[in-house]
Amino acid sequence: MKSEPLPHSKKARSEIETTVRKEWGRILASLTKTLGDLQLAEDSLQDAVESALQHWGKNGLPNSPPAWLIQTARRKAIDRLRRVKNFSGKEKEITYLMELDALDAAKDHLETSASDIPDKRLEMIFTCCHPSIEEKSRIALTLRTIGGLTTQEIASAFLDKTEAMAARLTRAKKKIALAGIPYEIPKKEILADRLRSVLDVIYLIYNEGYSSSHRDELIRSELCDEALRLSALIASLMQNQTEAQGLHALILLHDSRRPSRLDDTGNFVSLEKQDRSKWNRENIKAGKVILEKVLTKGAIGPYQLQAAISACHAEAEAWFKTDWGQILALYDLLYALEPSPVIRLNQAYALSNHSSCEEALNWLHPLEGELNTYQPFHVAKADFLKRIGKFEEAKQSLLKAISLSTNHQEKQHLVKTLAQLGTH
């Protein structure tokens, strides 16, 4: 029999989509903690979403959609557990779920709201970002379980095939179950390390969004938005962790420039040439408020320092008013914490503006070996050479940068720069 479209179905569908997207992470985390099994929790929640589409379409929306979803998901989990072959081993779990269900029914779940669902998202994000999971899978898993993105959306963000992304997620969930990765906030002794892993995942999501390494899109807004949301979440859940605050400030400050980063035709605009009146002042203010509060606590880390550097740019009314001396000093602190050639490269750029391009070029020399295949290295070198009139050498560096570029728009920008050099 072909079913007719139901009168409320359109409204119900949009309500479901909004609720699911908004509450997915919270419901899934809570359910996973109860069931001890992420795959089962996700499958059961998916079942509940499908039955919501039917019921809400017919009967209208329940008072509390999230509470309805979690209770239905628990019942779906009981069904799923009963269906598995070795049913006898699952009696304990089933009994526990039925008790929870009875408890909920007694409380009159219609009156409960989303905030009554215990928030286990922090536990969940630590699980998803566990160092024993491959890095790309940590990112995908975090976007799926906490962010509520669909497998298809994640696949498209990484330009993977949906099936490949689905297989990656399944493998990661299997590893969590088989290797016994806990759904817990790590113990004090390892908390700093594990938090770093979580923050790195969020930062990678942001970076992939802000300077997409693929195809024709320079900015993938949905990833930027998600990273902003995740960093806000972790900052609110870990208020005493200065680096969690630092990352949130960094993303707010950095993201404030998103509106000016592309021109009207979608071409890349460098920081120097950006229209600063387009910068998001609200984000800048919010980022600075967090930073000022957190820097006084004396637990400085790389994300706070990067946020402080970003704040220096945000505060400058114009490019020529940038406080390069302050930026250089912040890079020194950053390099002391994390001696990486990429930090030196960025510092050399600040140096070229603070003192001279000759000095900056001298800094690049020792980095050449390690950064030879790093595209931004050659872009910076070309820039310094161009600014001191060494146009032929600048062209060579630009050609190298173009050969290393994987993003179409970025490549176009470099080709344009090269053409301008040709006129000298």
Partner 1 sequence: MQYMLVIYSNEAADPQPGTAEFGPFMAGYQAFTERMKKEGKLVSGDALQSGSTATTVSVRNGKTQTMDGPFAETKETLGGYYLLDCKDLDDALACAAMIPTASYGRIEVRPVVVWE
Q: How far apart are CA 19 and CA 262, in angstroms?
A: 33
Closest CA to 52 of 4, 3, 18: 18
Nearer to partner 1, 25 or 186 (CB): 186
Q: How far apart are CA 280 and CA 275, in angstroms?
A: 11
Q: Is 419 in the site for partner 1 (CB under 8 A)?
A: no
Please give the angle made by the CA atoms of 153, 156 and 161, to the nearest 5 degrees: 110
| 3-state SS track over 96-121 | HHHHHHHHHHHHCHHHCCHHHCCCCH
Q: Which of 26, 120, 130, 288 binds partner 1 (CB under 8 A)?
A: 130
| 53 three-class SS | helix
Q: Which of 181, 199, 249, 398 binds partner 1 (CB under 8 A)?
A: 181
Nearer to partner 1, 201 or 294 (CB): 201
- Residue ranges in 83-112 that form contacts with partner 1 under rule CB under 8 A: 86, 89
Could you tell me the CA-to-CA distances from 205 to 115, 147, 226, 324 in Å, in that order?
A: 27, 11, 8, 28
Number of residues that bind partner 1 (CB under 8 A): 14
Q: Which of 50, 79, 184, 332 binds partner 1 (CB under 8 A)?
A: 184
Q: Which of 178, 317, 339, 392 binds partner 1 (CB under 8 A)?
A: 178
Q: Nearest approach, Cβ of 134 to partner 1 (angstroms)?
A: 15
Using an 8 Å Cβ cutoff, are 124 and 145 in contact?
yes
Q: Which of 3, 4, 180, 265 binds partner 1 (CB under 8 A)?
A: 180
Using an 8 Å Cβ cutoff, are 253 and 290 in contact?
no
Span from 59-67, 135-143, 179-187, 389-397 in contact with partner 1 (CB under 8 A): 179-187
Amino acid at 396: Q
Span from 177-185, 205-213, 236-244, 340-348 in contact with partner 1 (CB under 8 A): 177-185
Q: Nearest approach, Cβ of 76 to partner 1 (angstroms)?
A: 22
Q: Which of 98, 110, 159, 179 binds partner 1 (CB under 8 A)?
A: 179
Cβ atoms within 10 Å, residue 145: 25
Q: Which residues bind partner 1 (CB under 8 A)?
A: 86, 89, 130, 132, 178-182, 184, 186-187, 189-190
